[in-house]
Structure formats: structure tokens, C-alpha cells
Structure 1
Amino acid sequence: MPDLSTHLWLSITSLGSAGMTLPIAFAIALWLAVGYSWRMAAAWLALLGAAIGIVTVTKLAFLGWGVGVRELDFTGVSGHSMLSTAVYPVALFLVLLPARPAFRLAGVLLGLAAGIAVGLSRVVLSAHSPSEAITGCLVGALAALVFVRMAWNAEPGKLSALPVTVSMLVLALLMHGVHVPTQRWVTHIALKVSGHDRPFIRARWHALRNARPAATPLSQTRNTLTPSDSAHA
């Protein structure tokens, strides 16, 4: 792992927060609708929504029912990793759409690198296991690359790069550090749906790995038989 300060890792991880990435994602959709079509904007939001759905379902499954993969220390797809690898490549692609294809590709790769850095920060800060960060990056990258492939041949002159760039930078500055309690919301839903009083947590989940139900002594089983049970035995 790179030997960086905790403060720097926290700054990197904040780039993947929902409070920062979702406003940028909606700004992308608005620019697509204004410059191109509502269909293209809807395609982007649908892909992002599907990725968010994957993250949410895996988190609900673990928090509510303890469903995960112990061998991989997997308790749910990392939302920070997914959002950053989905949003930043598409944002840079949109900004660089008027440029030559090589520059567009470089922007997409730079966005993916930013998302991977966020995923790495989640592991360094012990917020997620490597498997959770990796799956988050893969899900986000898939959403971004599918959209980029769909929009690659879009007419480049419909949007000016300057207002798009300025809007993205302003949003990034204004929303940096804004906290959206998505984990608390997902936990609340998981408890409501599962009917449990408290969510599963990683430490408790690992502690149950080798748990086995206690065997009932044979003598105790005999003592608890009712007369009718004895008659049928």
C-alpha cells in the first residue's frame, strides 16, 4: 500500500461519497438531455441506477440476514468504489467529447484510475475488504464503459466543453465533504424488511463461522418425552 497520511486517504475516499458523486451524476444527465437527448440521459441514469441497485441489494442481504462470502470477507459491494468508477469516467468523457478520440479515451482511463484510488482508500481505511472494493470498482467501471460505448459516436459539437467543465468543478468544490447517510438508510430498510432488532456486523458474522448448535443430551431428550410420545416410540 502507498505510504500516505490518513488525512490524504480520507480526502481520496471522500471523492467517492454519494454527497459528491450523485450531484455530478445528475449534472451529467442534465447536460446529456440539453445537448443530446433525454434518451441518452435516461440510459446513463438507468445504468447508474442498476449499479446502485447491485450495491444496495448486497448490503441489504448482509445487514438483514448475514448473507455474504466469508472466504472472501465479502459483506457487500463498496458504494464509494462503485460510484467513483462509474461517475468520474463518464464526467471526463463528457467534458472531452469535443476533443479527439485519443483524449476522450485518456479521460475515461483517468476517471477509472480515480475510482480505483477511491477503492484502495476504502481498504486502507478498513472501511471495506479488498473483495468489496474490487467488486465495487468492477460494477462501477462496467456501468461507465457501457455508457461510453453507447455514446462514443455522439456528435461532439453539441456541447461546449467550458460550461460543462465549470459546472463539474463547481459541483465538486461545493459538495466535497457533504455527508449523505446512505449506510444508515440501508440499515434501517434492512431491519424493517428482515424483522431483526439489530443488523449483522462483520465481527459478529465472523464469530459465527464456527458456531454449531449445542447437542441435546440423550437423557434430557428421554426425560422430555410425553406419555403419548413414549407410546409411539
Structure 2
Amino acid sequence: MTNPWATLSQLGDSRLLLPTAVLLIAIGLWRGHPWARRWVVALLAVGLIVLASKLAFLGWGLGIASIDFTGFSGHAAISALVWPVILWLLTGGGKTGRWGAALGLLLAASIGYSRLPLNAHSWSEVISGFALGAAGSLATLSRATPIPCLRRRWVIAALAVGACVPAAIPQVHTHQLVVKVAKALSGSVKEFDREMLRRNEGLRQ
């Protein structure tokens, strides 16, 4: 039987959301929309912060054992950054668009929560990741025009293309790539894990 939490978690897969966001940004920039420029900045900022936190822990063991924090949840962060903008675009901006963005945040919160029963993240990682992504999406839409002037079929097409990426490269997982980069940068033979973080914290005490 399919795990419903795993199914929900797939909606926060960066292989789905990053290509979708990049395509929508390209269309938005082509059409001259300011929200697209703000979204680029938010995407880069959130992505670099999440990546830095993961590399710091996996490569050097930098985390907070007391709150079980080993880095921002990437699923929670990218979901909160991308889904509100997608649903804002799909609902056409204005008051309806605000409802769309709110639904996007609710969906992102659900995706973030799904990481808990899957034992992929702790509460501190999910909440901080969601807050980081939500700040990015709200900054993107804070001064958005009432009507985004982006046709719904373009948004749907971008989602369709994004949905094809995980199927096209099922063997590629971003976490595995981050682990390899962290080990290469730190020179560690093995990446740090939660147990090592707790053990190091115990030694310091």
C-alpha cells in the first residue's frame, strides 16, 4: 500500500518544483513582470541558505543537538517558496490570488509536516524551513500587481514539465548530491548524522 505521507512529500521534491519555478520565472521575465525578478532573488537566497546549512552539518557536524537541528528542511523551504506563487498565478491575482497564495502556504505546511512521520526531519528543521520559504514567497508577492497577466495554460505547462523531471531522472536525488559535495569540501570519509551530533554534544557537556 502506498504511504500517503510519501506521496504528499513528493509534491515538495526539488526535481519537480525547481524546473517549474525556473520556467515560470523565464516566462515572467520575458513578459516583464517585477514579481519574476523578485522570485529569482528569493529562490537564490533561500536555496543558498538551505544548502549552506546542510553542507555545514553533513561536512563539519555543525548543528544544534538540543533542538535536533541539522539544517533547514529543503522540502518545507522550497514548497513554501514555490507553491504559493504557483497557486497565486493559477488563481489570477487580486483577492482570488491572495486566497491562492494562502492555499499554497497551507499545502506547503502539509508537505513540511509529511517529513515528520517519514523520519526525514525534526520539528525544528520543518518549521525553520517553512518560515524561510514563506518569507521568500511573501517577499515575491508583496508588491505584485493585482493581475499577474500570465496565462494559466503556461502555468499548467510548466507544472507538467516539472512533473516529468523526477520520472526522467528517478536515480538522481539532491540529498545524495549534497552529501557528496559536503564530503568533498570537508575531506570527511563519512558524512555527519544525528547520532554523531548528539554524541558530540554529550562530550562537550
Tell me the secondary structure at the aligned position of residue 183 of structure 2. Answer: helix
- Establish whether residue 206 from structure 1 lines up as the match of residue 198 from structure 2: yes
User: Given the alignment of the two structures, is residue 41 of structure 1 paired with residue 31 of structure 2, yes or no?
Assistant: no
Partner of 2:14: 18
Structure 2 length normalisation: TM-score? 0.89
For this pair of structures, how many residues does the alignment match?
203
Aligned-pair CA distance for 1:93: 1.2
Residue in 2 that maps onto 1:218: none
CA distance in 1, matches of 2:67, 2:148: 47
Provide the identity percentage.
32
Unaligned runs of 5+ in 1: 214-233
Alignment of 1:15-164 (within 5 A): 15-37=11-33, 40-97=35-92, 99=93, 101-151=94-144, 153=145, 156=147, 158-161=149-152, 163-164=153-154
Query: Under a length normalisation based on structure 1, what TM-score does the superposition of the two structures give?
Result: 0.79
- 2:157 corresponding residue in structure 1: 167
Letter in 2 for 1:207: R
Q: Which amino acid is the alignment partner of residue 95 of structure 1?
A: L
How many angstroms does 1:106 deviate by? 0.7
Contact 1:122 1:128 in 2 (8 A): yes
Aligned equivalents of 1:47, 1:206: Cα separation in 2: 33
What letter is aligned with 2:128?
A: T
Quick one: distance in 2 between partners of 1:28 and 1:206? 42
The RMSD of aligned alpha carbons is 2.2
Give the residue type in structure 2 aligned to 1:202: R
The higher-RCO structure (CA 8 Å, 6+ apart) is 2
CA shift, 1:174, in A, is 2.6
Structure 2: runs of 5 or more not aligned: none
Cα contact 1:95–1:164 (8 A) shared by 2:
no
The CA distance in 1 between the partners of 2:151 and 2:111, in whole Å, is 29
- Tell me if structure 2 keeps the 8 A contact 1:14–1:176: no
Shift of 1:52: 0.6
Indicate the structure (1 or 2) with the bigger Cα radius of gyration.
Answer: 1
Secondary structure of 1:208's partner? helix
Question: Post-superposition, which runs of at least 4 consecutive aligned residues in structure 1 deviate over 6 A?
Answer: none
Provide the residue aligned with 1:186 in structure 2: 178
The DSSP-based 3-state class of the residue aligned with 1:123 is: coil
- 1: CA distance, partners of 2:134 / 2:196: 32
User: By how many angstroms is 1:169 displaced?
Assistant: 4.3
